[in-house]
């Protein structure tokens, strides 16, 4: 365990130094300066401490908004642990996560507040939670968990990735360095502005929203992604950078074409991750917006990012090197990698292991190496190619779905006897959550068609199978291409 640190020191310094410069802009165009953010976060932090929540686990359930950023920062400033839940999750799933995590309180916006228990504390843009008085910064161990990123709750078992304060700092420093050295496209200029369109708790927070805040640069927060709104925000606010999941890119381009608008300039960097983009859609996007696309590959337990497929690589792919389109890029200099041999795989293919300051200690061996579960191949030029997973986890867009959680939700429905869930290839999302079910003899066959609607009350939308097929036996499930 390392020497103690002051909780939230770097982000507190960043907003203080921003002063009168604008940092946060909501989708109506209302702005908050660094001084505004400092005042509101400080008031929220004092209110939380007054309720005895310093160093406690605190749930976060927010749509993107300045208040969400403030809530994330306030938990950090009081030495607490964030437990965020996707804002689109049903209340049953959110409640299960918060209960399993043992949170002491839940910070939320007005949209989610009525769905929560007595633990809920409202902090919204127009209804801030605040308290006056002195604020004494807290000393904590850098190994203290700052964020528990939920993976799943199944049979009351809570699976989450515990990012420490030290891990978070390393992710921030890594991404700020990559921006400044031009690894994400052209180097930062004086007119930078980030667009937070993916939800804050996911990759965008690690790769853009918080690195931009730490650098004292402005960002616009869309409550949720809508292509036409994103186009409007890009042009209205001079957005230079954003992060998307692959399926958002063609929707953005289509919306820009429908409005007969050009995105670049001002847009200079579109980072995306979670899966390779569809090659044809990406070539069209480059034709329309220029060579501004950058694929990032990472894992919460190993670091975001670990590899980058840069804008020049995308241009080479568009100009006739199709192999690059299947790569997730070359490792960044800030990480070491090893490819661990895996039985039944060729010598050049195996499990990717990484070592860096972003690696979560609980997922590392005594020497600091983190085995990611991703099967990769590395070519002679250093590019990595994903070849599958060891644990069956489904990567749909940038979201990770564990089959057992979805199977448990399906078999909890009366009339379903068994279920098998897996990821199957999908041109937009990389993998689609797909289910095969066996119904009880007395169940109505129409139950299969009703399952997605039933599951909406139990699972986040991205976990709900895109296709559900009825089978007589799980032995009847067709083999995936490449399976023996």
| Residue, of 134 and 367, whose pLDDT is higher | 367
- Residue 271 confidence (pLDDT): 97
Give percent of the chain with pLDDT exceeding 90. Answer: 77
Residues 218/193, Cβ–Cβ less than 8 Å: yes
Taking only the tens place, the pLDDT of each residue in 167-180 is 999 999 999 999 99
Are both 158 and 284 inside the same structural domain? no
Query: Within a domain: residue 321?
Result: yes
Domain count, the chain: 3
Distances (CA, A) of 162 to 143, 166, 288: 10, 11, 40
482 has a pLDDT exceeding 70: no
Are both 416 and 310 inside the same structural domain? no
For 319, the domain range is 225-389
- Range with lowest mean pLDDT among 160-164, 258-262, 318-322, 459-463: 318-322
Taking only the tens place, the pLDDT of each residue in 365-421 is 999 999 999 999 999 999 999 888 887 788 887 677 888 889 989 999 999 999 999
Last residue of a domain, one of 368, 389, 410: 389
- Range with lowest mean pLDDT among 41-55, 240-254, 280-294, 308-322: 308-322
Are both 85 and 52 inside the same structural domain? yes
Query: 3-class SS at 349?
Result: strand
Are both 457 and 344 inside the same structural domain? no
Q: How far is CA 377 from the centre of its chain?
A: 24
Are both 425 and 329 inside the same structural domain? no
Q: Is 99 exposed, middle or buried (0-12, 13-18, 19+ CB in 10 A)?
A: middle
The tokens for 344 are 């039944």
Q: Considering the chain, what is the average pLDDT of its residues? A: 92
467-480 mean pLDDT? 90
Taking only the tens place, the pLDDT of each residue in 285-342 is 999 999 999 999 999 999 999 999 999 998 887 677 766 778 899 999 999 999 999 8
Q: What is the pTM of this model?
A: 0.89
DSSP 115: G
Q: Is 322 exposed, middle or buried (0-12, 13-18, 19+ CB in 10 A)?
A: exposed
List alpha helices for 103-149, DSSP H. Answer: none
Are both 240 and 370 inside the same structural domain? yes
CATH number at residue 460: 3.30.300.30
67 has a pLDDT exceeding 80: yes
Taking only the tens place, the pLDDT of each residue in 414-438 is 999 999 999 888 776 778 899 999 9
pLDDT category of residue 447 using cuts at 50, 70 and 90: very high
- Residue 147 confidence (pLDDT): 97
pLDDT category of residue 484 using cuts at 50, 70 and 90: very low
| Residue, of 280 and 253, whose pLDDT is higher | 253
- Residue 2 confidence (pLDDT): 58
For the stretch 434-458, what's the b/e string if a residue is b when 16 or more beta carbons lie within 10 angstroms of its beta carbon? Answer: bbbbbbeeebeeebbeebbebbeeb
Are both 150 and 252 inside the same structural domain? no
Are both 245 and 280 inside the same structural domain? yes
């Amino acid at each position: 365990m390392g020497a103690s640190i002051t909780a939230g020191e770097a982000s507190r310094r960043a907003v203080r130094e921003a002063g009168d410069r604008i940092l946060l802009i909501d989708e109506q165009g209302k702005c908050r300066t660094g001084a505004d953010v400092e005042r509101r976060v400080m008031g929220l932090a004092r209110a939380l401490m007054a309720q005895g929540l310093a160093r406690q686990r605190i749930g976060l359930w927010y749509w993107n908004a300045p208040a969400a950023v403030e809530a994330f920062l306030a938990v950090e400033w009081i030495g607490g642990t964030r437990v965020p839940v996707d804002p689109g999750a049903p209340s049953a799933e959110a409640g299960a996560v918060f209960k399993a995590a043992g949170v002491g309180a839940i910070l939320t916006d007005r949209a989610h507040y009525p769905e929560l228990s007595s633990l809920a504390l409202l902090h919204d843009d127009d209804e801030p939670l605040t308290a006056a008085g002195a604020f004494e910064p807290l000393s904590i161990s850098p190994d203290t968990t700052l964020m528990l990123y939920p993976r799943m709750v199944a049979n009351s078992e809570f699976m989450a990735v515990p990012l420490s304060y030290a891990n978070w700092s390393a992710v921030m420093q890594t991404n700020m360095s990559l921006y400044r050295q031009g690894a994400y496209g052209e180097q930062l200029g004086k007119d930078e502005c980030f667009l937070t369109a993916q939800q804050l708790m996911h990759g965008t927070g690690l790769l853009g929203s918080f690195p931009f805040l730490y650098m004292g640069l402005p960002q616009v927060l869309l409550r949720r992604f809508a292509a036409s709104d994103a186009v409007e925000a890009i042009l209205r606010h001079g957005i230079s950078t954003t992060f998307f999941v692959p399926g958002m890119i063609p929707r953005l381009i289509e919306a820009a074409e429908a409005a007969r608008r050009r995105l670049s300039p001002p847009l200079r960097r579109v980072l995306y991750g979670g899966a390779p983009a569809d090659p044809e859609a990406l070539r069209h996007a480059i034709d329309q917006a220029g060579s501004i696309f950058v694929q990032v590959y990472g894992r919460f337990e190993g670091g975001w990012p670990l590899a980058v497929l840069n804008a020049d690589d995308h241009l080479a792919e568009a100009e006739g090197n199709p192999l690059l389109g299947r790569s997730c890029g070359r490792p960044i200099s800030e990480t070491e990698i090893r490819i661990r041999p895996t039985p039944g795989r060729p010598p050049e293919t195996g499990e990717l292991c990484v070592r860096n300051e972003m690696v979560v200690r609980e997922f590392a061996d005594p020497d600091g190496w983190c085995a990611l579960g991703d099967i990769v191949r590395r070519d002679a030029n250093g590019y990595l190619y994903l070849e599958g997973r060891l644990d069956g986890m489904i990567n749909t867009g940038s979201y990770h779905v564990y089959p057992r959680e979805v199977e448990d939700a399906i078999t909890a429905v009366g009339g379903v006897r068994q279920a098998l869930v897996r990821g199957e290839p999908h041109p937009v999302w990389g993998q689609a959550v797909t289910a095969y079910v066996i119904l009880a003899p007395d169940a109505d066959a129409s139950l299969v068609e009703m399952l997605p609607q039933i599951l909406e009350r139990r699972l986040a939308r991205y976990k709900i199978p895109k296709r559900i097929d009825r089978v007589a036996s799980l032995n009847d499930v067709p083999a995936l291409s490449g399976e023996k």
